[in-house]
Amino acid sequence: MSQPQHPLERRHPLEQQPPPSDPQPRPRVNLRIPSVSPYATYVLIAINVLIFLARAASPSLDEQIFLWGSNHTPDVFRGGEYYRLFTAMFLHAGIYYGIGNEVALGMSFHLISNMYILFAVGTSLERLFGHARFLIVYLLGGMAGSVLSILLGGPEVYSVGASGAVFAIVGAEFVFLWHHRKLFGEAGAVRRRSLIIFGVMNLFAGIASSLPGSSVNIDNWGHLGGLVGGVALAWFISPILNLRRHPDNPDDIQGDDINPLKRNVWVISIYVTVLLVLIFIGVLLAQQNQFFMSLF
């Protein structure tokens, strides 16, 4: 015979009745923020692909373009060919290799991987940043990667690839999500974690490529320079959204950018100045090394 339960007796959690569900769920709210079509991203991808196809037309043309535009410390610091800091961002590993100019289509993975990340991150970032801010982060971030690469990469290295610029926009997206971490909630946290995982995986891949016996050469300094440059720029020039009720539809929320680009021109000026100072230091070091080599 069961005993009647005392009214103050605590029940086992499994015996408790679930709390009643809210009969009126919260209405869905639309967030409207300024957005543009990612035309610049498409143009950048097209330029990289067209240059790659042009080089694939013949081994001689491939070599000529590579030697003309790749990032190479002696040519930049001693030869004054500073354009290489820019052109190297639009060159990738070619499909010809060896003395016999054998074809290796697998070498196109360098281009494919960079363009995939540029498409996946760039299309969403450009919509939020706008054309001008996106191009500033991409190009100046890539330039930071090029500068750090020739400063620390060694005089025998010929460096090419959009990796530095791609890492710049990856870093910029992380900064934007961090600035708006409360707005995007758990979805933003998941995206930030995925960006961190991407960076860590590439870091370990770069370390592995520097080990003896590795057949792949990864420009770790170029990646790091691009990432640092993108984070530094985006920290100051990325959009900062201020939320308010939409004037035409009170049920929606509108995000207004309260951090216009024209307010942060000084940041871009300082950034460019730092790059120029680093280049000047590289020129002085190259001249100094050349002087000491002439003594022996």
Q: Say if residue 210's pLDDT is above 90.
A: no
- In angstroms, the CA 146 to CA 61 distance is 23
Q: Token pair for residue 279? A: 């280049």
For residue 242, pLDDT over 60 is answered with: yes
Residue 47 has pLDDT above 70, yes or no: yes
Cα separation, 161 vs 182, in Å, equals: 35
Q: Is it the case that residue 128 has pLDDT exceeding 70?
A: yes
pLDDT in tens, 188-202: 999 999 999 988 888
Domains and CATH numbers, the chain: 31-294 (1.20.1540.10)
Cβ-proximal residues to 213 (8 Å cutoff; 6+ apart), any chain: none
**Nearest partner of 125 among 140, 139, 137, judged by Cα:** 137
Tens of pLDDT along 73-89? 999 999 999 999 999 99
Task: Answer yes or no: are the C-beta atoms of 61 and 54 closer than 8 Å.
Answer: yes
The average pLDDT across 100-114 equals 85
Indicate whether 289 pLDDT > 50. yes
The answer to whether residues 227 and 170 touch, using CB atoms and an 8 Å cutoff, is yes
Q: What are the phi and psi torsion angles at 239 (to 5°)?
A: -60, 140
Is residue 214 classed as helix, strand or coil in its secondary structure?
coil
| Rg over CA atoms, the chain | 26
Locate 72 and state its tokens: 């190479």
- What confidence score (pLDDT) does residue 22 get? 53
